[in-house]
Amino acid sequence: MTRTTMRGSVTPQQYRALRLMSEGKEMREIAEAMGITYETVRSHLKYAYERLGARDGAHAVRLCYERGIFRLPTTDHEETRN
């Protein structure tokens, strides 16, 4: 899915930072995983919050799921009942 620069969507770098944050990573861990500075992560997240209209990180992650930017993982099988 292409993430354009329209309000309500995020850039690929913002997406990756938000995704890592949704996995419980702290900003320093996100910076290390992305190979960028802590300040750059802060900038990516700040502008992502603005694009999404989010108040904070938890709100941004929720909005990503609600808008289909993030998808819940699916399983390949269903539990069978006896």
On whether residue 1 sits in a domain, the answer given is: no
On whether residue 36 sits in a domain, the answer given is: yes
CA–CA gap between residue 45 and residue 26 (Å, rounded): 12
On whether residue 81 sits in a domain, the answer given is: no
pLDDT tens, residue by residue, 4-56: 444 468 999 999 999 999 999 999 999 999 999 999 999 999 999 999 999 99
On whether residue 16 sits in a domain, the answer given is: yes
On whether residue 6 sits in a domain, the answer given is: no
pTM of whole model > 0.85?
A: no
Residue range of the domain that includes 59: 12-66
On whether residue 76 sits in a domain, the answer given is: no
Domain count, the chain: 1
**9, 20 contact by CB (below 8 A):** no
The CATH number given to whatever domain includes residue 60 is 1.10.10.10
Residue 3 has, within 13 A of its CA and on its CB side, a CA count of: 17
